[in-house]
C-alpha cells in the first residue's frame, strides 16, 4: 500500500528541483552583481528618467559630481560635467541625489 504515495512524492521532488534551479539562477545573478559592483535599482532609475536633460548633483563616498544627466540605465547613470567630461556612476555608489 505504500506505493500509492510515490506519485505524490515524485511531484514534490520535481517541484523542489524546480525551486532549487530558480534559487541557483538567482544566486548566480547576485554573485555577478557583487563581482561587478553594479546593482539594478528600478525605483532610482524611474526617478532619474524624469531628470534626464536637467542639471543634477550626485554624491558618492569619494566625490560629488554635478552636470547634465544624459542617461539613466538599469544600474548606472551618465552625467556630462561642465568641462565636457562624461562620468558614469553605478547606482550602488550614490549616496545623495540632488
Are 95 and 60 a contacting pair, CB within 8 Å? yes
Cα–Cα distance for residue pair 1/40, rounded to 1 Å: 52
The x, y and z cell numbers of residue 24, run together, are 541557483
Backbone angles phi, psi at 75, to 5 degrees: -135, 5
Looking at residue 3, its pLDDT comes to 60
pTM for the structure as a whole: 0.66
How high does pLDDT run on average in the chain?
90
Max CA distance (Å), the chain: 81
Please tell me the predicted confidence (pLDDT) of residue 74: 87
Amino acid at each position: 500500500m505504500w506505493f500509492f504515495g510515490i506519485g505524490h512524492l515524485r511531484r514534490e521532488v520535481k517541484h523542489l528541483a524546480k525551486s532549487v534551479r530558480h534559487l541557483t539562477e538567482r544566486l548566480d545573478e547576485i554573485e555577478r552583481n557583487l563581482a561587478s559592483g553594479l546593482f539594478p535599482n528600478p525605483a532610482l532609475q524611474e526617478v532619474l528618467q524624469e531628470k534626464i536633460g536637467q542639471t543634477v548633483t550626485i554624491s558618492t563616498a569619494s566625490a560629488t559630481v554635478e552636470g547634465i544627466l544624459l542617461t539613466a540605465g538599469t544600474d548606472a547613470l551618465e552625467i556630462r560635467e561642465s568641462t565636457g567630461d562624461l562620468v558614469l556612476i553605478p547606482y550602488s555608489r550614490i549616496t545623495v541625489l540632488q
